[in-house]
Amino acid sequence: MRTIGVLGGLGPAATVDFLDQLVRLTPARRDQDHIPVLAAFRPQVPDRSAAILGLGPDPLPALLEGLHLLERAGADLVAIPCNSAHHWHAQLCEQSAVPVLHIARACVARLRQPPGAAVLVLATRGVQRSGLYRTALREAGLEPVEPDALAVQHDVDRCITQIKAGEPAAAAHSLSRVLRQAAGQGLSCVVLGCTELPLAARRCDPEGLTLVDSTRALALAAIEHALAEGVA
């Protein structure tokens, strides 16, 4: 078995959720069946979304520092449970000696939608600007949809901030408005393209929508990679 490196703390609750999924989704009956993991919580990395929007310092040096720490400590692959950080995925891969998984590609790979289906992407403003899911969905022959009203993006932002502030009930309230609006628009599939959102979504009525959890998709990709590499 290979060691999964986790460049985390972006934010901390989302990283705990990622690790929780990793443990739950690994086929194991006892401790020794589980996959070794090295998780670096680096919460001081500058805000990713703000940087993409040109409103804050560049997080790339801090992300590279975390990546190299994981490599030196023995990680055989790296997962980053933060969608916005994937704006720098190409630069991270260039400087990495080990594979760095891509959360948006892992997430889109798990969609079971007919060709051309509309998929609503909920994410930070930074991820929307970077086009992370726009690109991945189009490559998969699907039609990315972004929140059309500023009020909806405002509720997404609020939900993320509330999870980071340790207020999951308030976060679920914010996300509920977004999901009701999406269902009312006739959408049927929603990508939770920020790792804080699943923590709120689990407390929401899904309103009949298919919610696709990017944290869970990344955890499944990491497990597949770690176990497959172990066999090889």
Q: Is 41 in the site for its own copies (CB under 8 A)?
A: yes
Q: Applying CB under 8 A, which of residues 36, 57, 61, 230 lies at the interface with its own copies?
A: 36
Q: What whole-number distance in Å separates Cα of residue 159 and Cα of residue 226?
A: 32
Of 169 and 186, which has the nearer Cβ to its own copies? 169
Judged by CB under 8 A, the chain residues 95 through 154 that form the site for its own copies are: none
Q: DSSP labels for 46-64?
A: PPHHHHHTTSS---HHHHH
Asked whether position 187 contacts its own copies by CB under 8 A, the answer is: no
- Nearest residue (CB) to its own copies, 98 versus 111: 98
Instruction: Give the nearer residue to its own copies in terms of CB position, either 64 or 183.
Output: 64
Q: In what order do the strands lie in the sheet with 143-145?
A: 143-145, 118-122, 189-192, 210-213
Distances (CA, A) of 209 to 93, 179, 185, 204, 231: 34, 8, 11, 11, 37
Compare residues 15 and 181 and give the one whose CB is closer to its own copies: 15
Structure tokens at 105: 């590609």
Q: Cα separation of 79 and 92, whole Å? A: 11
Instruction: Kindly state the helix (H) or strand (E) to which residue 7 belongs, with its residue range.
Output: strand 4-8
Among 7, 37, 60, 220, binds its own copies (CB under 8 A): 37
For its own copies, give the closer residue by CB, 59 or 193.
59
Q: Does 57 bind its own copies (CB under 8 A)?
A: no
Please list every residue from 5 through 34 that binds its own copies, using CB under 8 A.
9-13, 15-16, 19-20, 23-24, 26, 28-34
Rounded Cα distance, 57 and 212, in Å:
30
Q: How far is the CB of 94 from its own copies (least distance, A)?
A: 23
Q: Show the tokens assigned to 90.
A: 């190409």
Site for its own copies in 66-85 (CB under 8 A): 69, 72-74
Q: Which two tokens stand for residue 218?
A: 């990344």
Shorter beta-carbon distance to its own copies: residue 179 or 219: 219
User: For binding to its own copies (CB under 8 A), which residues are involved?
Assistant: 9-13, 15-16, 19-20, 23-24, 26, 28-45, 47, 69, 72-74, 161, 164-166
